[in-house]
Amino acid sequence: MHAQVGINGDGMARARAAALDVAEAVAGLRRAFEAGRTRSYAWRVAQLDALARLVTEHEGEILAALHADVGKPAIEAFSAEIAFITGEVKHTKKHLRSWMKPERVSTPLVTQPGSSAIQREPLGVVLIIGPWNYPLQLLLGGLVGAIAAGNCVVMKPSEVAPETSKLVAKLVPEYLDTDCVAVIEGGVPETTALLAERFDHILYTGNGTVGRIVMRAAAEHLTPVTLELGGKSPCIVDRSADLEIAVKRIAWAKFFNAGQTCIAPDYLLVHEDVHDRVLELFAATVRGFYGDDPKTSPDYARIVNARHHQRLMKLLPGSGAVAVGGEADEAERYLAPTILKDVPPESPIMEGEIFGPILPVLKVRTIDEAVRFVNARPKPLALYVYASDTAVQDEVLSRTSSGGAVVNHCTLHFAVPGLPFGGVGESGMGAYHGKHSFETFSHRKAVLKKPTSLDPPILYPPYTESKEGWIRRLL
């Protein structure tokens, strides 16, 4: 997605047509919301059940679409996309009734008699803009929370994953309430038209450049946003770490989906005492995962398209030496699991999020040096530390800031529905998953209820000395 720049001729005509279609769709959703259609518990649960059926009854089609778009191995696609959605639905349904109940809070003496509560209410019509790397999970995952909170929803799948986008656009109207949930496919014109509309919340997952475009558009309507923007998530390996376990877990997380994961470990800071051993273990681990030729492995994904493949290949020159991998085939969108050593901190690979199967390994002398290295850069979406020494774990967690963190593993915090998933600083704002999704798409309305049977005169003029004395005592 990009800003609408350089559209002319046929492009302008398409943009005008897109704007009309989008405006009509959004207006229809708003009418349905204002009619109260989405507010009942029964409607919300029925839609969640329908969403779960959508992904389970069409598992084969979904796996085929994800393989066509991103070359995902079936088990990776199932676990990270389909099972994630069904798990999120199950968790949400289990707790939804309690989440919807008013939350009682204490009422101070000065406002007695009365009762106070926080009442969750749906925001209205919300927009979810999905990315291409997990084109089902990161689109429908947000939908779970938006529906649970009682909203109408517009979803914009990524045009970079066209087969998944097409399948979502086909299946959603077959399962979900079409008066309340809409899918808008397309690229620049359609996205530009969507961002021109007034929404009550926008959830965007992607990069910071487009995140800024979304935020500027949202500002025109004072629309709140949740931005999941990724970044360079560091992984610190202390000399006290169980190295064999650490390398196995890091390699799994890094090369899952061929590194095209917003919370994949982006670079390693390895204590100098274990640096060489870590490199040896990576070579053995990659071979154990994918064989002597990962290109032939059915368990290894592909780069999404030629443009991203070319981008990744341009990062390699000047970014240290290849310790593992490095082989590539643009025609097949293949880039081997690649480990780099002797990486200069100012090299191209260290400038921005890699978003691919390349892992730079940098040597540090102390954990303090690793922490200072991390803190000198923008706050990441995730941070990982491998250490058996709890003092090292605590030091890293207390001295760094990141959207989320995991000790002795990578990425798995994403799978805990009780944890908020979100960024901080340049890695994003806001959070979702589980109850946090429900809260993101809800307004927490403050409600004070007062009886009329008692109406103490202390609040009203004339303000006598006696009244002032009581007010001072009560406040």
Q: What residue has token string 């999970």?
A: 137
Q: Residue 245 carries which side chain, given as an amino acid letter?
A: I
Helix axes 59-70, 162-175, angle to 10 degrees: 160
Upper half-sphere CA count for residue 287 (Cβ side, 13 Å): 9
CB 337 within 8 A of CB 250: no
Distance from C-alpha of 426 to C-alpha of 211, rounded to nearest angstrom: 10
Report pLDDT for 4: 38
Question: Rounded CA gap, 138 and 186, in Å?
Answer: 17
Question: Is the C-alpha dihedral spanning 453, 459, 463, 467 positive or negative?
Answer: positive
**What per-residue confidence (pLDDT) applies to 10?**
64
Alpha-carbon span 179 to 253, nearest angstrom: 39
B/e letters for 379-411, b = 16+ CB within 10 Å, e = fewer, are bbbbbbbbbeeeebbebbeeebebbbbbbeebb
Q: In this predicted structure, what is the pLDDT of residue 12? A: 65
Please state, in angstroms and as integers, the Cα–Cα distance from residue 26 to each residue in 17, 153, 184, 265, following that order: 14, 9, 10, 38
Query: Would you give the distance in Å from CA 106 to the centre of its chain?
Result: 35
Q: b/e map of 172-205 (b: 16 or more CB within 10 Å)?
A: beebbbeebbbbbebebbbbbbbbebebbbbbbb
Angle of the 41-57 helix axis to the 162-175 helix axis, nearest 10? 130
CB atoms near residue 287 (< 10 Å): 14
| Residues acting as catalytic residues | 228, 262
Residue 466, classified by CB atoms within 10 Å of its CB into exposed (0-12), middle (13-18) or buried (19+), is exposed
The whole-number pLDDT of residue 6 equals: 43
Spatial separation of the C-alpha atoms in residues 314 and 331, rounded to whole Å? 16
The pLDDT of residue 101 is: 98
* Alpha-carbon separation of residue 141 from 175, 266, 371, 410, 470 (angstroms): 16, 24, 33, 20, 53
All domains of the chain in start order, with CATH: 10-229+427-446 (3.40.605.10), 234-422 (3.40.309.10)
- Tracing tokens 């914009």 back to the chain, one arrives at 156
Report pTM: 0.94
- How far the first Cα of the chain sits from its last, in Å, is 54
**Max CA separation in the chain (angstroms):** 90
Per DSSP, the three-state class of 360 is strand
Q: Taking Cα atoms as reference points, which of 208, 225, 190, 194 lies closest to residue 15?
A: 190
CA distance 292 to 58: 34
Below-70 pLDDT ranges, the chain: 1-15, 17
Tell me the C-alpha distance between 294 and 335, whole Å.
9
